Amino acid sequence: MRDRFLTHWRGIALSVVGIVATLWLAVTGQLGLYIHPRYFAFTTIMAGIAVVFVVLAFLLVPVGGEDAEHDAHDHGHDHGADRGPVARAWWFGLSVVLVAATAGALLVLPPATLTTATVDQRVINSSVAGQSLDDTIELAGGDEASFTVKDWAGLLRQGADERTLTGKSPTLVGFVTPDTDDPENVFYVARFVVTCCAVDAQPVGVPVYLPGWRDRFAVDEWVSVTGTFSSNPSIASMQATVLTPREITSTEQPADPYVY
């Protein structure tokens, strides 16, 4: 049993770290930072099944013995014997570092949402570009109290302007990310749309015109913005319509920071 553990300890340790991290996120309600809620049950069940497979693999996978001797005979020598004490010590040390780094990343560092660093790698509002005209008209005449940042971004992406949105005064909660065309005067109140998991998350946002906003808010800070839509005064920004804030305050990141 001891030899079996020493042979497979790296795989066992990495598997246990991954399983524990998944179950911990599920128990603490933070699994939603990484996957869509529809996959919560599936992911938790698979983590439980993984426990069974790790135990079975540990008990059933052969160690050394006849298989090792047979392989050594077929190749003419034992490759393991080629490793001297120094090489084995280096390999063991690298394995420990790998396991420790994985454990630190999954179990020690606090879970975090996606940020502007991810927005910079993707095109904001590209995920709402395919919204149909019928959807836009339906949204424009709908109950704005139920609108998300995604809905408002979709309206603007499809060409809704201040005339279409007259009388609309949304309150939006999201994180601050700069408009790359005019980062000093315009920022997006943004969220990520998650279809499956954080890997496929796409940023959506509503542009806010607020000259000197950097003096009040930091990039990635969460804010609550209430305002009305108007033509964009910025001559540098490519956004035709912006939200002119009537009230804007810092706020806590919501328990569920993504939209679906």
Q: What is the pLDDT of residues 21-62, one digit of tens each?
A: 888 888 888 888 888 888 889 999 998 898 888 777 767 766
> What is the pLDDT confidence band of residue 133, given thresholds at 50, 70 and 90?
very low
Residues 131 and 253 reside in one and the same domain: yes
Number of domains in the chain: 2
Determine how β-strand 186-193 pairs with β-strand 171-178.
Answer: antiparallel
Closest by Cα among 188, 198, 186, 183 to 260: 198
**193-238, pLDDT tens digit by residue?**
999 988 899 999 999 999 999 999 999 999 999 999 999 999 999 9
Domain end marker among 69, 85, 112: 112
**Alpha helix stretches (DSSP H) within 28-77:** 40-60, 65-75
As given in the structure block, the two tokens for residue 22 are 């998944």
Do both 65 and 19 map to the same domain?
A: yes
- Segment 157-202, tens digit of pLDDT: 888 888 888 888 999 999 999 999 999 999 999 999 999 988 899 9
29: region left, alpha or beta (phi > 0 left; psi from -120 to 50 alpha): left
The answer to whether residues 134 and 229 belong to one domain is yes
Check whether residue 125 and residue 204 sit in a common domain.
yes
In angstroms, the CA 190 to CA 176 distance is 6
Same structural domain, 146 and 169: yes
**Residue 96 and residue 182 in one domain:** no
- From 55, 90, 112, give the residue that closes a domain: 112
Sign (positive/negative) of CA torsion 191, 194, 198, 201?
negative
Note the pLDDT of residue 176.
98
φ, ψ of residue 244 to 5 degrees: the values are -95, 115
Examine the domain organization and report whether 124 and 26 are in the same domain: no
**In 3-state terms, what secondary structure has residue 85?**
helix
162/176 same-domain check: yes
Q: Are 128 and 75 in the same domain?
A: no
Residues 180 and 103 in one domain: no
The dihedral of CA 195, 198, 203, 204: what is its sign?
A: positive
| Domain encompassing residue 218 | 117-259
Closest Cα partner for 127 from 36, 221, 190?
190
Residue 218 shares a structural domain with residue 95: no
SS3 content of the chain, % helix, strand, coil (to 5): 50, 20, 35
Distance from C-alpha of 37 to C-alpha of 206, rounded to nearest angstrom: 24
**Does 65 score more than 50 pLDDT?**
no
d(CA 185, CA 236): 9
Minimum mean pLDDT range among 1-5, 34-38, 87-91, 97-101:
1-5
